[in-house]
Structure 1
Amino acid sequence: METALVSSLTKIVVGKLFALLEKKYEQWKGLEDDIGFIKRELRMMDGFLHDQLLLSREERGDLTAVQAASVDEMRDLAHDVEDCLDRFLPCPACEGDASFVGRLSAGSRFAAEIGRLKSRLKEAHERRANYGVAVVDGAAAAGGSSSASASPAADYVDRSPVGIDRAKQEVLDLLDDVDGQPSSQLRVVSVVGFGGSGKTMLARAAYDCPDVGRRFHGRAWVVASEHKDDARGLLSALLRQLRQQDGQTLGAQSEQQLYLIVVDDIEEQQRDCIKSAFPEKSSSRILVTTTVQPVANACSRCNGHVYNMRTLDVNHSRDLLEAVLHEHSSTQIEWDSAPIVEKCDGLPLALVSVANFLRRRKELTASYCEQVCRSLGHHMEKERAFTKLRQVLENNYSTLPGHALKTCLLYTSVFPNGHAIRRNSLIRRWLAEGYVQCQYSRCDLEVADEILQELMDRNIIRPIDASSSNARVKTCRTHGIMHEFMLHKSMSGNFITSLGNPNPCKFRHIFIKNAKSGSSFMGETDCRTGQQGAKQLRARSLTCFGKAGEYASDFSRHELLRVLDLEECNDLEDDHLKDIWKLLRLKYLSLGKTITKLPRIQELHCLETLDLRKTRIETLPVEVIALPHLSHLLGKIKLIQRNGFSINDRFLSQKCKLQTLAGLVVDDDYEFLQIMVRMNKLRKVKIWWKPTAEDSKISLISMAIQKFARAGMDTISARSLSLRFRKFSEVLLRSLENSYGYLSSLKHQGELSQFPRFVTSLCGLTELCLSSTNLSGHDLSNLCTLCHLLYLKLVETDLSSFVMKNGDLPSLRRLCLIVRNPILPTSKKELC
C-alpha cells in the first residue's frame, strides 16, 4: 500500500523538479555538478518507485522493514529537494520584482543546501547498496504467488440480501419486454456502481429468480475479470454452460429461444466480443455489471438500459449490520450503530465486513464501537475480516490510469467524511498544488476537469447535486468507506494528517477540525530541531473546518503554503490574518463568514485564486487586479481606486491573467468597467448593477458587455456572462440592440421591459438562464430560434403563453421551468 502511494506522489514531484532544474537553474555558478548529480539521482528514484508501482499487490507482496525504510527515505529526499527550490527560488513571473526575489533567493544559502542534499543522496545510495535494497522482481514474485479471487464479493452474494427487493424488481422490469410485446432486438442491461455496492448480489438475485428460470431457455454466468485479455476463454465459458443446458451453440439459436447471459465485472475491451456472439435480431438478454459509467453506457447503447446502483438507506444498513452480527453469534449489542452506518455509507460489503469484525467480541459496548470507528482505516489494512473489502478498495485505487488521478483522489481525503466538496474549488486546489500538469497543447484546467470526471465515471467520487440549468455537477464527495481507506493510506504515506498528529512537520497537507480550546500547533519542538538543524514546516496546504482555536495565529509559520482554505473556519478574526502577506508562495486563499476586511496581500505574487464568497468583505482595492498570477476572483465585490493607483494598460491587455471575475458590484462608480474591457483573458464575468447615476453613464457598461461578447469570436473556449440587475434600463437595451458576439453561457436576473434581441444574435450560446424578467411567455417564445441551445432555464411568474413547437430548439437537452403561477406553458414539441 505504502509503495503505491509513494510512487504516485513522488512521480509528480520528481517530474516537476527535473523539468524545473533542466529548464532554469544552470545560472547558479559552481552548482552545475551538484545539480546534475541531484537530477540523475531523482531520475533513478523515480524509476525505482515507478517499477514498484507497476507491480500488483500480489506480485509486490509486503515490503520488508528495510525496503519500507528505503522508500520512506526516498520520498523525504524528493520532498526536501522540492522544499529547497521553493524556499530559495522565485516563480518565473515574479523575477522582475527585485524586492520579492530578494526575499526568496540567497545564493550562498542555496548553494549550501544543495550541497547538503547531494551528500544525503549519496548516503542514501550507499545505504541501499549496503542493505541490498532492490526492485522486486515482478516476474519471479508472480510465479510463486497464487492469483487472488477475481470477484472479491463473490461469496458475499450468497448471504440473504437486505433491502434488495425494489432494485431486483426494477432490473427484472428492464429485462422484460416493453409493453408486454416480445422484442426481436438483443437487449443489454448494465448495472453500474461503486465496488462493494452490491452489483453482483443484485445480478445474482435477478439471475436466480424463479420467473427468470421459467422464461429463458438457457442461462449462463461468467466473471469477466477471470478472463482478462482472453476473449476466447470468456466465450468458451459461456458456451460450456449453455451446452450443458440444451446442447445448442449460440450461433444455432432461433429467434424464439431466449437466453440470459450475465457477465460480472465486465471491462471495456470485452463488451464487443460478448455482443458479437449474439445475432442482433435476438430476443435474448445480457446483464452486465461494471464500476465504470462509460463502459455501462457503451454496453447498453442500442436498445438497452443502464441501471445505477443505489446505496442502502439508514434503516436497511442497520438491518444488514445487525443481521450479520446475530448470525452464528450470541453477541450482546449495547451500542448505537449510527457512527458505523455513517462510515459504511450504505455499501453492503462494508457493512458485512465491519459486522464480521465486530462479532468476534462477546459483548459490544458503545466505547469499543467508537474506538473501532476512529481507527477503522487501520483495521481495514490489518484485519482478516476486511480482506474482501480491502481488495475492492485497493482495486478502485490501483487501477486508476496515471499518477495524477491517484494523487488527486487521495487529496480529497483532506475534507471530512461526508463533506460536500465544490467542484471548481477542488479543481483550483489541485492546480495550485501542482498535481495537474499538461504536457501537450491543452490547458491544465481542462485536464483537471477530465480527472474529476474520470473519478466520477468510476463511481469513486459521488456527485451530490447538479446545476438545474445544465446538469453539470457542482458538488461531490467520496464514499464514506473509500474516504476512510484513502485517509489511512495518505497518513501512512506522510501525505495528509490532522492537527493532532504529534509530528506534523513530515506531512504535505494538514487539516484542522474543531480544535479544542487552548490547542496550538503540536510537535513544535520536533519540527524545529533535528540532525540537520532547524527543520521548518513543510505543509503545502492547510484546511480548517469549524474552530481553529489558538492555531489561528500560527498560519504564517507555514512559509511553504500554497493553499490556505479557511472558508469553513468559524472562529477566525480579521487580526488573525495580519501576517498572511508572509506566505509568499500562496496560490489559493479562501476565507469565511467571520472575515470583514482583507489583510495586506499585495506581496502575494503567486496568488491564483482569491475566494471571498462567504466573507462579509464588500470592497477591495483595485491593486488586487495587478497580482501577476491572479486568475480567479470570487465574491460580491466593489473594486475601489485609492491613492492615485493606476494599472498599466500593457499589463491589462498582455499580462493580466484574470479569467474569472464573479462578481463585480457596479453602482455610481463605473471606472472599473473601463479597466475590464482591456482584460483579454476574462472567461467568466458576473456583474451586479445598482444604478444610481444618470443614463448617460450606461454606455460604459454596454461597452463592457459588448467587448466581452465580441472578444469570444476569436475563441471556442467556454465564456460565461451573468448579469444581476434590479431593472434593465431602456437605454441599455437600446444600446445592445444591434450587438453581437460569442458566449457559451448567459444568465440574467432582473426586470426587462422588452425582449433583449442581443440574446438571439449571440453565437455559440448553449446555456441560457432568465430569471424574474417579468416578460410574457409570448416574448420568451423568441428563444425558440436558438438552434444550438442545450440548456434552458426560465424562472418567471407566468409562462402560460410560452409555446414550444415541434422543431423548436432542436439541440435542447435539458429544460428547467420554475413558474410561480400554476398555469404551465404549452408544448407541442415531441420529446425523446
Structure 2
Amino acid sequence: MEVAVVGAVVGAVVTSLVPKLSAVIGKRFSEFSDLDDDIRYLKTELAIIAAKMDEQHKGQQPSVLQNISTADMRDLAFDIEDCLDQFLPCAACRRGAVSKGDLLDFANQVGKLKKRLERAKQQRTDTDANGSQQAVHLPDQLLGTPAEPADQVGIEEPKQEILGLLGSEELLVISIAGFGGSGKTQLTRAVFDCDEAKEKFGVRAWHTASDHKDGDELLLAILHKLFPEETLLSVSEMQSQVSRLQQRIRFQQKTRCLIVVDDIEKHHWEAIKSFFSELRIIRILVTTTVQTVAKACTKDRGYIYNMRTLSVGDSKDLLKKRVGNFNRNSTDLEDGSAAIVRKCHGHPLALISVANYLLQQEQITGPVCQKTSRLLCTHMDEDKHGDFTKLRQILVNNYINLPFHLKTCLLYTSLFPNDRPVSRKTLTHRWLAEGYIKRETERTYQEAADEKLEQLMDLNIIRPIDTSNRGEKKTCKPHGIMHQFMLYKSISSNFIAPSLENRGNFRHIMMENQRNRREADIDHGATSPAARRPNRLSNLIRSFKPSNSTGSDEDLRPRSLTVFGSAEEAVYSDLINCKLLKVLDLKECNNLEDKHINNIYKLLHLKYLTLGSSVRGLSDKMGNLHCLETLDLRKTKVNTVPVEVISLPHLAHLFGKIKLNKLSSKKLDKFLSGECNLETLSGVVVERNSQFPELMEHMKKLTKVKIWCVITSTDGNYTKLSDAIRKFAQAGTDTSQGARSLSLHLNASSNEMVHLSATSRKAGSAPPVFYLSSLKLQGRLTHFKEFAKALSGLRELCLTCTNLEGPILLACLRELWCLVYLKLVEDRIDDLDINLDGDLASLQRLCIVVKQPRFPKIAQEALPGLVSLQLLCKDLEGVCDGIKVGHFEHLREVALDSEVNPKTIELWENEAKEHPKRPKVLLLKRVEAADTWSAAKYVATDQRSSELLVEGTP
C-alpha cells in the first residue's frame, strides 16, 4: 500500500503542477532556448510516471527497492513544485520573477531537475524489472464468515428494525448499506436465521453475489433455490421460462419468499430486478458498500438501512465478551479497554481484531491495552497474516481501488480531528487551494471538488452528518477506523506531520495540543522515535528543506498549517518562514492575537486563510495576498475589512460579519475600474454611510450574498441598497456562475426593503422578475406579497421572525410555484392552514421552528411531494393533531428537537412505523446563534432516538 499512498501524493503534486508548467510554457524565454523544452519534458514525464505509479503494483506487494524508488520520486516531485512556486507564485496570472538573474537561476534549476528526473526514470525502469513480491489475498468467503455468538452484540435492535421493514406490504427490497467490516453480513445473517423470519417466510435463499460471474448466473442460482424441481441447465434456457415461473410465484400466495443477496453490485441488480419487480410475496434483502447501488435496488418500492457504528456501551460489551477475562474491578484495565473502544470508533471488525490479538498475550493488563490501542495501525500494517489481516484487507481495498485523485483527497481528510465533523465547503475549498482538483471539461473546479466528495460518500468511506436545505450534505467525516489508518499512512508517507515532532519532508502540518488530543490515541509507530519531543513548529519546519537545497531556514516545504487549540509563541514567530504555504487554518486556534498575524501578508502563495476568535483587526497590507481565494473571518472579532482585501484579484469567498472601510474617491474609483471576482460574500453590514450598495453593483460574479441592514428608510443608502438588491436578483440569467442566493436581515426601520426592491422601477415598465434560487429573510415584513410575485422561480425560502399572519403567508407562498424547501422560524404559527393539494405542490422539505408547540394544520391532500418534515420545538408533547405522518405518501424522515421528552419520541416512532415507507425519526440539536441577528440553527446529533428512549425511561 505504501507505493499507492506515495503514488497518490505524487499524483496530487503533478495535478497542481500542470497549470503551473503550462503557465511557464506560456511565457517567452527567447534568451533561454532550452528552458521551454525542459519544462515540457518535466510536464509530460511527471504525468506519465504518476499514471504508472497509480496503476502499478495493484494487487501486489512492492519490493523494498520499489518503495525506495517511489519515495525518491515523491521528493523529486516536491522539489519541482518548490522550484516552480518560488519562480511563479500565481500560475493563473503568470505572475512571478521577471529579472534576467531570476530567469537564469530558474533555468539552471530546471536543467538540474530534468537530469534528476531522467535518472529517477531510469532507476524506476531498472527497479520494476526486478518484479514485485506477491501480496496476500483473502478469499471473499473468508471476509464474509458468519460472526461467532460472542460477536452478536448490539444487533438485536437493528435486527428487529429490519424484520419490521420486511413485514411492510409496500417495501419489497431492503438495502443494508455501510462501510466494510461494519457488520452488514452479520446483521443480515441474524435476520435470515432467526425464528421470526423462518415463520414468516416459507422459502428462504441466501446468495453471495461475488460467487457468480455475472447477473444472469446469479438469477439462475436464485431460481434453482425457488424451484428446485425445475430443470434449469443454462442461462439461455432460463430466459425462455421466466414468464411461466413468475406466474407460478403469483399463484403461490400463501408461500412468502425471502431472498438475500450479499455484497450485491449494480450489474447483479440490473439482471434480477425485472423478474422480481411485481412479485409482492417476495422480499429481497441485499447488502452493499455503495450508496448508489443501494439506491438503485430500492428505487421503486424499497428502503435503505444505513449501518450504524456500535455505541460505546456495546463496544465495551463486545470486547469483554470476546476476551472473557477482563477484571471489572481494575481501574487500570478499565482505562485500557476504554482506550481501545475509543480508538476503534464502534467498528465491529476492529474490536474483534483487537480482542483476538489480546487473547494471544501472556497477560492482559491496562498498559498492554493502552499500547495495543496506540499501535493499532502499526499492527494492521505489519501483521499481514494474523489477527488484523481481515481488517487490514478491508481498509487497504477501500483505498487501493480509488483513482489517485480520490486517494489524495481521502488522505487529506485525516488532517481534521475525527471527533468533530468537517464542513463540506471547508474541505472542498481546501482541496481547491492545494491544487488537488483537476479541471474537468464540463464542470467548474468547485463542481469537480463536490463530485469527488460525493464519490467518497457514495462508497461509504466518508459519512455525511448534517444535511442542507436541498438535501445535500453540509458536514461529513471519515469512518473512524479509516481515519486512523489514513492518518497513519499519511504520516508514514511524509504527507502529514502530526503535532509531535517528526523529521521528514512533510507537506502538511497539523498541530493539536494535549488538551485537545489524547496522546495515547496517536499511532506514530512507523515514523517517530520513542522519545517524544516538545510541540514546537520551529523544530518541525526546519526539516522541510528541499533535498537539493543549500539555503537557510527560509527554504521550507509545508503547503498547509492547521492548528487546533492553543499554540506556542514560537509557532507564530516561525510561521513566516513557511513562505510557500497555500493553506493557513487558524480558525480553531484560541490564543491567536492580532500581533501574531502582522506578517501573514508576506505569505504570497496563500490561497486559503481562516482566523480564530481572538483576532480583532486586519491590516491593509493583507492586500498583498494576491493569490488568496478564500478568507474566513466568521470566528473572529473583525468588524471592518479594508477595501484592499475585497479587491484581491482571486478572492472568491469571503465569510464573516463585516463592514467595509470608508473609501476615498481615489480608492473607490480604483475598485470600480478593476474586476471583482467575489462569488460569495456572507456577509456585510450596511450602515448609513456604507458604500457597499455602490460596490455591490460592481460585483458582477456575486452569486451568494448575506446582508445585515441597519439603515432606515430616511437614509440615502436605503434606495441605493434596494436598487442593488433588485439588480442582483434580476441578473440571475446573465451569469454562468450558477443559482443566486440572497440573505437579508432587516431591522425594524428597514422592513420595507423587499417591497421597495420589488416595486422600484421606471413608470410603465413591466413588473420585475427575480432569478433567485434561495432567499432568507429575517425581520418583520409588511409587503412581502409583491416581492413574492417576482420570485416565481424560487426553490428555497427561509422566513424568520416575520410576524406574517397565516392567511397572508399562505397567499405569498402560493406565488412560489417551484418552491422545494421552506423553513419558518416564528414564536407560533398555528394560524397557517394548508388545505389544498395545489398549495406548495412542489415542496419536498418543510422545516418549522417555533417557541410554543403550536404547529400549522396540513390537510391530507396537501404537500403531495413532501419527503422531509422537521417540527422543531423542545416543548413539543405528543404528536401534532393537525399534522399526520401517514398523510405524506413519500415521506422519508421526520426530525424533532433532541430535547423533547422520550414519550413524545416514542409516539412519533410509532407513527413512523405505521407509514408504508417507514420514515426515519431524527433528533436535531439546537445550536445557539452567535448574535441575536442570526436565525435558529440545528445540527445532527449522533444520539439515536432509541438510545434516548432507553435513557429517559423511568
Normalised by the length of structure 1, the TM-score is 0.91
Taking the aligned partners of 2:647 and 2:633, their CA distance within structure 1 comes to 17
Partner of 2:144: 154
* Equivalent in the alignment of 1:545: 564
Is 1:202 aligned to residue 187 of structure 2? yes
Residue number in structure 1 paired with 2:396: 394
**Offset of residue 725 of structure 1:** 1.5
Select 1:307's aligned residue among 305, 326, 336: 305
Q: What is residue 777 of structure 2 aligned with on the other side?
A: 748
Cα contact 2:755–2:783 (8 A) shared by 1: no
DSSP 3-state at the match of 2:176: strand
CA–CA distance in structure 2, aligned partners of residues 194 and 218 of structure 1: 29
Q: Where do 1:675-824 residues align within 5 Å?
A: 675-691=695-711, 694-715=714-735, 717-727=738-748, 729=750, 732-738=753-759, 739-782=768-811, 783-805=813-835, 806-824=837-855
Q: Residue 373 of structure 2 aligns to a residue in which SS?
A: helix
Residue 674 of structure 1 and its aligned partner are, at CA, apart by 0.5
Once the two structures are superposed, residues 275-316 of structure 1 have per-residue CA deviations (whole angstroms, 9 ceiling, x without a partner) of 234362341111100111121111011222211212111111
Equivalent in the alignment of 2:927? none
> What is the distance in 2 between the residues matched to 1:529 and 1:153?
43
Match of 1:641 in 2: 662
Report the Cα distance in structure 1 between the residues aligned to 2:564 and 2:136, rounded to whole angstroms.
45
- Residue 518 of structure 2: aligned partner: none
Seen in structure 2, the aligned counterparts of structure 1 residues 101 and 107 have a Cα distance that, compared at 3 Å, is: closer
User: What are the Cα deviations for residues 634-673 of structure 1, in whole angstroms up to 9, with x where unaligned?
Assistant: 1000001355542457x65873110011110111123121
Report if the CA contact (8 A) 1:89-1:104 is conserved. no
Match of 2:903 in 1: none
> Per-residue deviation at 1:105?
8.7
Distance 1:134 1:37 in 2: 27
CA distance in 1 between partners of 2:344 and 2:638 (Å)? 40
Shift of 1:525: 5.7
Distance 1:613 1:194 in 2: 34
CA contact (8 A) 2:21 2:39 kept: no
For 2:423, the aligned partner's letter is R
Picking from 200, 218, 234, the partner of 2:218 is 234
Distance 1:822 1:239, change over 3 A: closer
Aligned position for 2:635: 614
Q: Is the 8 A contact 1:768 1:792 kept in 2?
A: yes
Distance 2:818 2:313 in 1: 46
The 1-side partners of 2:655 and 2:828 are apart by 33
- Superposed CA offset, 1:372-425 (max 9, x none): 33332222211221111111112222333x332221111110111222211111
Q: Is the partner of 2:497 in helix, strand or coil? A: strand
Q: Which residue matches 1:9?
A: 9
One of 654, 658, 663 as aligned partner of 2:678:
658
Report % sequence identity: 44
Contact 1:667/1:690 (CA < 8 Å) preserved in 2?
A: yes
The residue aligned with 1:109 is: 105
In structure 2, how many angstroms separate the alpha carbons of the residues matched to 1:582 and 1:652?
Answer: 26
Q: Tell me the SS of whatever aligns to 1:335.
A: helix
Q: Kindly indicate whether the alpha-carbon contact (under 8 Å) linking 1:3 and 1:49 is maintained by their aligned counterparts in 2.
A: no
Q: Say whether the 8 Å CA contact 1:37–1:118 is kept in structure 2.
A: yes
Amino acid at match of 1:508: R
Distance in 2 between the 1:396 and 1:445 partners? 25
CA drift of 1:800 comes to 2.0
Q: Is the 8 A contact 2:806 2:829 kept in 1?
A: yes
Alignment check: 8 A CA contact 2:712 2:750 kept: no
1:574 to 581, 594, 600: 594
> What's 2:888 paired with?
831
Q: What is the alpha-carbon distance in structure 2 between the residues aligned to residue 602 and residue 328 of structure 1?
A: 61
Question: Please, which of 166, 174, 190 is the counterpart of residue 165 of structure 2?
Answer: 174
Structure 1 pair 430–19 and aligned structure 2 pair: CA distance change class (3 A)? closer
Question: Structure 1: 5+ residue runs without aligned partners?
Answer: none
Superposed, 1:386-465 pairs within 5 Å as 386-400=388-402, 402-465=403-466
User: CA offset at residue 245 of structure 1?
Assistant: 8.7
SS at match of 1:533: coil
Counterpart code for 1:825:
P
Partner letter of residue 551 of structure 2?
A
Code of the aligned partner of 1:36? D
How far 1:51 sits from its partner (Å)? 3.5
2:78 is aligned to 79
Q: Secondary structure at the match of 2:510?
A: strand
Q: Which amino acid aligns with 1:150?
A: D
Deviation string, structure 1 residues 137-170 (Cα, Å, up to 9, x no partner): 8xxx8xx888532255422524441011111111
Match of 1:512 in 2: 511
- Contact preservation (8 Å) 1:737, 1:756: no
- Cα distance in 2, alignment partners of residues 331 and 50 from structure 1: 56
Cα drift, residue 48 of structure 1: 4.3
- What SS is found at the alignment partner of 1:745? strand
Gaps of at least 5 residues in structure 2 are 233-237, 515-532, 760-767, 863-886, 890-954
Take 1:823 and 1:554, find their aligned partners in 2: how far apart are those partners?
Answer: 57
2:66 is matched with 67
Could you tell me how far 1:22 is from its partner in structure 2? 4.2
| Structure-2 change in CA distance of 1:28 and 1:136 (3 Å) | farther
Q: In 2, distance between residues paired with 1:199 and 1:311? A: 11
Aligned residue in 2 for 1:533: 550
Is this contact kept in 1: 2:154–2:310, CA < 8 A? yes
Q: How many residues align?
A: 810
**C-alpha separation in 1, matches of 2:503 and 2:338:** 32
Closer, same or farther: CA 415–156 of 1 in aligned 2, 3 Å: farther
For the residues of structure 2 that align with 1:831 and 1:135, how far apart are their CA atoms?
65
Cα gap change, 1:169 to 1:652, in 2 (>3 Å): farther
Contact 1:728–1:752 (Cα < 8 Å) also in 2: no
Greater Cα offset, 359-368 or 261-270: 359-368
Q: Among 210, 213, 219, which residue is 2:198 paired with?
A: 213
Q: Does 1:133 align with 2:117?
A: no
Give the direction of change, closer, same or farther, for the CA distance of 1:531–1:803 in structure 2 (3 Å limit).
closer
Contact 2:38 2:111 in 1 (8 A): no
The more displaced of 744-753 and 248-257 is 248-257
Judged with a 3 Å threshold, the aligned counterparts in structure 2 of structure 1 residues 392 and 527 are, in CA distance, closer, same or farther, namely closer
Cα distance, 1:92 vs. partner?
4.7
Give the SS at the match of 2:249. Answer: coil
CA contact under 8 A between 2:713 and 2:749: conserved in structure 1?
Answer: no
8 Å contact kept, 1:743–1:764: yes
Aligned-residue offset at 1:224: 1.7
The reply to whether residue 601 of structure 1 matches residue 622 of structure 2 is: yes
The one-letter amino acid paired with 1:342 is R
Does residue 272 of the first structure (1) align with residue 329 of the second (2)? no
TM-score, structure 2 as length reference: 0.80
Secondary structure at 1:557 match in 2: coil
Q: State the SS of the aligned residue for 1:798.
A: coil
> How far 1:57 sits from its partner (Å)?
4.6
Q: Deviations over 1:57-78 (max 9, x none)?
A: 53x2x22111111111111111
Counterpart of 1:390, as a letter, is R
Partner Cα distance (2:278, 2:69) in 1: 57
- What is aligned with 2:380? 380
CA contact (8 A) 2:19 2:91 kept: no
Residues in 1 aligned to 2:229 and 2:590: alpha-carbon distance in whole angstroms: 67
Q: 1:734 to 1:287 in 2, by over 3 A?
A: closer
Judged with a 3 Å threshold, the aligned counterparts in structure 2 of structure 1 residues 330 and 45 are, in CA distance, closer, same or farther, namely farther
* Superposition map of 1:16-35 within 5 A: 16-22=16-22, 24-25=24-25, 27-29=28-30, 31-33=32-34
Determine the C-alpha separation between the residues in 1 that align with 2:742 and 2:100: 39
1:522 is matched with which residue?
Answer: 539
- Inter-CA distance 24–527: structure 2 relative to 1 (3 Å threshold): closer
